[in-house]
Amino acid sequence: MSLSSLSSSCVPSAFSLGLAGVDTIVIEASVVTNFSFSVPSAVRYIQPSTQLTNATFCNVTVTYTHPGDNDRVGVEVWLPPAQSWNERFQGVGGGGWGAGRFYNSYGMMAGALAEGFATVTTDAGLSDQFSPEPWALLSPGHVNIPLLENFGYRSLNESAVIGKSIVQQFYGRAPSYSYFNGCSQGGRQGLALAQRYPTAYDGIAAGAPALNFPELISSLYWPQLHMNEINYHPYGCELDAIVLAAISQCDVLDGVSDGIISDVDKCFATFDPFGMVGQSTNCSQTGGLLTISAGAASVVKATWAGAMSADGKKLWHGCRPGADLTGALEPSLGHGTAMTNCTGGICTGIPEPLATSWFRLFLVKDPSFNVSSITQSEFEDFLRQGQQEYSSIFSTNNPDLSGFRDAGGKMVTFHGLADQVIPDQGTRDYYNNVAELLPGVHDFYRYFPVPGVGHCFGSRGGAPLSLFSQLRAWVENGTAPESSPFTYTDGSGAATYSRVVCPYPQKAVYHTQCGAPADASCWSCERGQSGVCGKVRVNS
């Protein structure tokens, strides 16, 4: 397709919405030329970095509304020239409070375009993709439920329908296969699609999914609440020292000293943060040595254990030993749930913004609410309120994937075992619940826990960058992913390791007689204990 031919076919009049029940506001179409994007693997999650250079494509942006809801939803479709199209379609997910149409999703689209995909993203009608402040409330006390439904699920199928319709109109044929890739909120979106719209995509990659959203997002405040309850806010360096000690002690549990924790369950059971109390650590915040306090050990233990009720009942999971609690160990990850700000010898808590927005806007429904005043009793009330008011929109924990299975869909989920935001146990619980309901789950859905990886990317571990291509092979020729390779450097950066990540409940086992722990061929996937530990049952 020449540039002139592309220009003549990439015009608004060539396209219609292709979706019933909504009203078109405007359809825009234009040719984009000389478009370049350096795409890091961090925004593709289970795909390698790539470079899009001087690309030409048709950008079709559809804006529509649901009658009576007063919303304005934007769907953006990028279409490579016909000779460059691989006859496949890829939807990309959002993150945080964003449904899509921001840097990460555009990076994923650029990567998809570089590989020949037609690709789509949606903003779900949200006026801000980084903060719910501008759109959450119609007025104090009144949540904008239509936009929340758009964000929770409605826009996901709509963008798939619109995107594939635009593809059909542009190329004169439907895509041969359709895929979705997302992590965090995007991972939750992927599972929402599999559960609610089982024919939307043939293959779904859902990383670190924000399942059981009301419980999860409230629990992000738990470390801060614990600090308030014990009236002690530690220096970040105290928490970091305990985390590093856990990595050092638990590293060898898999038989190899390589700077990451593979057996996080055993580490949690055997490493006691209080064993660090009284030891000294170098602390940049104080400019010298600092003695680790019992208060710091208490915060670490509470953060790992997860949110608890006043009578000791587990409310939600905590992050794992090895996860960065302060944002200082792995600055590229940006944040941790136990962050503090210390000035003049006095430390105060820095709550996770996702949690504070949730409490203020969606539970109290008052932007001026002071989150720092929350008590243990109020925290438990808020968690229940979130379940009651929003589970039908956000929980995304329905284990009945029979529709997706019967449609021939294939799905992979992955979760970093050093995730500092979303505990991997929620993903594991979900897989176990699906397996309990559908014993043949392994034939269409596989879950890969990834040692040492933080939230969606980063930290000490390495992402399985071949997993998306393995998903494609599973969808297109029936070759299921029995393992997936990953590469990383140890904590010192002195050695590079190649290993495999295994589909749960299998675990990677090192064969000592092989003698080369840095060689993936010395590792195999073997079925061990199920690993179900501290399972939290949540009603959908």
The helix-helix angle for 294-305 and 236-250 (nearest 10°) equals: 60
Structure tokens at 492: 């010192």
The verdict on whether omega for the bond into residue 439 sits within 30 degrees of 0, i.e. cis, is no
Q: Which of 419, 424, 429, 490 is catalytic?
A: 419
What are the angstrom distances between the C-alpha of 131 and each of 152, 214, 496?
A: 15, 17, 39
Structure tokens at 418: 């050093």
> Are 187 and 207 in contact, with CB atoms under 8 Å apart?
yes
Q: How far apart (Å, rounded) are the C-alpha atoms in residues 376 and 382?
A: 10
Whether 66 is catalytic? no
Count the neighbouring beta carbons within 10 Å of the beta carbon of residue 23.
Answer: 9
Nearest by Cα to 182 from 58, 47, 305, 69? 47
> Are 306 and 318 in contact, with CB atoms under 8 Å apart?
yes
Residue 458: Cβ-neighbour burial (10 angstroms; 0-12, 13-18, 19+): buried
DSSP bridge partners of 205: 181, 412
Q: How far apart (Å, rounded) are the C-alpha atoms in residues 165 and 159?
A: 10
Q: Which residue do the tokens 């030993």 mark?
A: 321
Structure tokens at 296: 């710091």
Q: What is the largest CA-CA distance in the chain?
A: 73
Q: How does strand 50-65 pair with strand 73-79?
A: antiparallel
Whether 248 is catalytic? no
> Are 138 and 131 in contact, with CB atoms under 8 Å apart?
no
Q: How far apart (Å, rounded) are the C-alpha atoms in residues 311 and 323?
A: 27
Q: Which of 155, 159, 184, 218 is catalytic?
A: 184
> Are 65 and 25 in contact, with CB atoms under 8 Å apart?
yes
Q: Which of 159, 262, 455, 484 is catalytic?
A: 455
> Are 424 and 320 in contact, with CB atoms under 8 Å apart?
yes
Alpha helical stretches, state H, 182-293: 185-196, 213-219, 222-230, 236-250, 264-270
3-state secondary structure of 116: coil
Structure tokens at 256: 């190899």
Whether 455 is catalytic? yes
3-state secondary structure of 146: helix
3-state secondary structure of 275: helix
Active site residues: 184, 419, 455
